Chains A and B, each alone.
Chain A
Amino acid sequence: MYNNSITAELDIQIFIEVKKMTKVPYEVYTEEVDTLSVLSPDGKIVNKDLLPELSDDQLKEIMYRMVFTRTWDDRAVNLGRQGRLGFYAPVSGQEATMVGSEFALEKDDFVCPGYRDMPQIVWHGLPLYQAFLYSRGHQHGGQIPEGVNVLMPQIIIGAQILHAMGIAMGYKLKKQKQVVITYTGDGGSSEGDFYEGLNYAGVYKLPVIFFVQNNGYAITTPFSKQTAALSIAHKAVAAGIKGVKVDGMDVLAVIKAVRDAAERGRNGEGATLIEAVTYRFRPHSLSDDASKYRTKEEEGEWNEKDPIARLAKYLEQKGLWTEEDTARVKDEAKAKVNEQIKKAEQTEKMTVPGLIDSMFEQTPKHLEEQKADFQ
């Protein structure tokens, strides 16, 4: 009896194994993929072949931008609590994905951000005080200077993915070599616009990079409730484009992934979906309480993977960075933020007549009449 039961269990085991191995020819299979990784959390190179080519100055510049961005985020959260900033989505924890992905592009490439992606458009050329104005609800925040190829942050999750696809088609029709990058999160990858954008980019072979920062939560909803796919990167398969999964706390891996994708785009090889696995150290926004949906243990585990600490260790080992450098950048960043928030606060207020005049190229008669009520 006892022996029989063991045999039966073994039979089941074998049956399961055989079933696993037998692929039905007309069924679709996907497999788990590795995560592209270059730096270990203690700052050691784990994959030399994948290390992107970067000069010492470039490495220091990346470090500078990441420390600057973290300090700006700290200050912005404080400014928000003081009521000096409007809507603000914190970025700490995501410096590798934000700074790294933008750094991998050329200046004339185009950036289509989601609502949290202010660092990318600032590093791409938007003056910081305009970023603050955007948060403060001032139209000048979205008046991107000529020659800076970015859109203002998109509030409707996923809508910017379609704009990126259209801008990329523009480059293709004009036979220009630029690529377009667009950002969304793990939540955004569930939107219809996400699938439509990937699909169009596949059909038309467009030079666009769909960069998903999977920070584990769509406001409060965990990634486990977002998709049953093996990963977000796997969704590229359905659109016939390249999919890549990358360690989003590893800035060198992020740069490697985006550079490869940009090269494919410039070579006419089409679009790439990059999933960067990351974490936001802070809540979704200043009115969100992350302790309601995340544990201290989980937050602690991710703090261990801090992208800034990781790059700092690597650079310290190379003799390129010291703690004093970090302190110096922090001071610089604080001074710059103070100066730029003041500039934002001193910018002349919007007016209703000005708003009316920004609706159409030529203000129609009925709006001219309505303007009179506010003059």
Chain B
Amino acid sequence: MAQMNMKEAIRDAMRVELSRDPNVVIFGEDVGNVGGVFRVTEGLQKEFGEERVFDTPLAESAIGGLAVGLGIQGFRPIAEIQFVGFIFEALDQIVVQAARMRYRSGGRYHSPIVFRTPFGGGVKAAELHTDALEGFITQTPGIKVVVPSNPYDAKGLMIAAIRDNDPVFFMEHLNLYHAFRAEVPEGEYTVELGKANVVREGTDVTIIAYGLMVHTATKAADELEKNGIKAEIIDLRTIAPIDIDTVLASVKKTNRAIVVQEAQKSAGVAAEVIAQINERAILHLEAPVLRVAPPDTVYPFAQIEDTWLPTPARIVETVNKVLNF
């Protein structure tokens, strides 16, 4: 098995699907010739030609509209939005046009599109390059939202997303592109959309996270273990829809939970997870489910990024609160 970082794994997924299905096309700003600003699509244009992998003019709404139009024509577009902050320019095409196509046409048309976008903090990028904007999309009916945390999942989720006949918003954490290598099978395999994964088993508390926060939570769990506290970590992988069954099974075992997210605290994925735990498992809880999340401010300039984002220390502190409730 090959060792790949997450960037290479995502690229490999796209290569597999470009080879397998002639309807797969990739486009976006700078994705063709050089393979995008992060080189995720590097080499694909050379391998598959300019009709399959191509650069677009600099206009995000048109990237979204192009994807919707090609979807109507039977293609499977993979549209890259260069940085997450640029989705605002394309938001109508993503949440109004692509996500409603099946409903508006009563199933006559659909949008088998993957919108890929890098996001995520900790890299001291320019404004609006790193925000965790998933909340905008998870509130949208008709689109799935995927946030992989490791190379294996990233490849399998990407292949599943490309093959899905509905739109998928695929968020790639900037800090995970090169963070580490892991074993990734060659060829095709899928990781089912909408399925969470227990990445660390434990009995005392459940930590629910996704994306980079899975790794931040793991660091916290290592710390907690030194004091004999065994934390179970759930990687949601897909945040719309949320795999609540996996969360509930864990909470019923540990009776305590916290949710960690990189997005601002209010009205986000964590709030949704907590609401669903309350609806379905309140009598299993020994303490309220708490959130570790940045304050409800705009994403900060680079100077205070590290203290603004959730840290292992804050996760440990919050776990201790639910343990000592």
Contact = CB atoms under 8 A, between A and B. Distances in A.
B92 interface: yes
Interface in A149-165: 151-152, 156, 159, 161-165
Contacts of B103: 139, 355, 358-359
A159 B65 contact: yes
A165 B166 contact: no
B68 A152 contact: no
Interface stretch (B51-59, B206-214, B252-260, B302-310): B51-59
B324 interface: no
A66 interface: no
A193 B90 CA distance: 10
Interface stretch (A89-97, A255-263, A315-323, A360-368): A360-368
Interface stretch (A167-175, A220-228, A280-288, A325-333): A167-175
Given A166-B69, A193-B65, A367-B241, 11 more contacts: A143-B106, A143-B108, A144-B109, A161-B65, A166-B72, A168-B69, A173-B51, A174-B73, A197-B65, A360-B102, A366-B244
A200 interface: yes
B104 A200 contact: no
A196 interface: yes
Contacts of A165: 62, 65-66, 69
Task: Report, nearest first, the 3 A-B pairs whose CB atoms are least far apart.
Answer: A166-B69, A162-B65, A170-B73
25 contacts: A139-B103, A143-B108, A152-B105, A156-B97, A159-B92, A162-B64, A165-B65, A166-B70, A166-B71, A166-B72, A167-B69, A167-B72, A169-B69, A170-B70, A170-B72, A171-B73, A173-B70, A196-B65, A197-B62, A197-B65, A199-B62, A358-B102, A359-B103, A360-B142, A361-B102
Nearest to A145: B108
A366 B172 CA distance: 25
A199 B69 contact: no
A268 interface: no
A173 B49 CA distance: 12
Given A139-B103, A163-B97, A193 B61 contact: yes
B74 interface: yes
B75 interface: yes
Contacts of B104: 139, 142, 152
Most chain B CB within a 10 A radius of its CB, from A144, A169, A171, A366: A169
A359 B65 contact: no
Given A166-B67, A166-B70, A203 B106 contact: no
Contacts of B241: 364-367
Contacts of A136: none
A212 B244 CA distance: 49
A197 B51 CA distance: 19
Nearest to B164: A361
Q: A interface, how many residues as a size bin?
A: 35 or more
A193 B142 contact: no
Nearest to A172: B51
Contacts, number: 126
Given A192-B61, A196-B59, A162 B105 contact: no
Contact of B105 (A143, A164, A170): A143
B66 A166 contact: yes
Contacts of A143: 105-108
Contacts of A193: 61-62, 65, 92
Contacts of B96: 156, 159
B183 to A, nearest CB: 30
A200 B67 contact: no
Given A163-B97, A199-B59, A142 B108 contact: yes
A140 interface: yes
Interface residues of B, number: 42
A164 B97 CA distance: 13
A162 B142 contact: no
A139 B103 CA distance: 8
A92 B110 CA distance: 33
Contacts of B231: none
A47 to B, nearest CB: 36
Contacts of B69: 162-170
A173 B110 CA distance: 19
A62 to B, nearest CB: 29
B130 interface: no
B70 A169 contact: yes
A200 B166 contact: no
B205 interface: no
Interface in A186-234: 192-193, 196-197, 199-200, 203
A358 B107 contact: yes
Interface in B234-248: 241-242, 244-245
Interface in A113-163: 139-140, 142-144, 146, 151-152, 156, 159, 161-163
Interface in A228-245: none
Nearest to A166: B69
Contacts of B102: 358-361
B25 interface: yes
Residue of B66, B108, B109, B165 with most partner-chain A CB within 10 A: B66
A162 B67 CA distance: 9
Most chain A beta carbons < 10 A, residue from B62, B68, B194: B62
B250 interface: no
Interface string A170-183: 11011000000000
A303 B75 CA distance: 46
A314 to B, nearest CB: 38
Contact of A163 (B72, B110, B165, B242): B72
Contacts of A161: 65
Nearest to A195: B59
Contacts of A203: 57
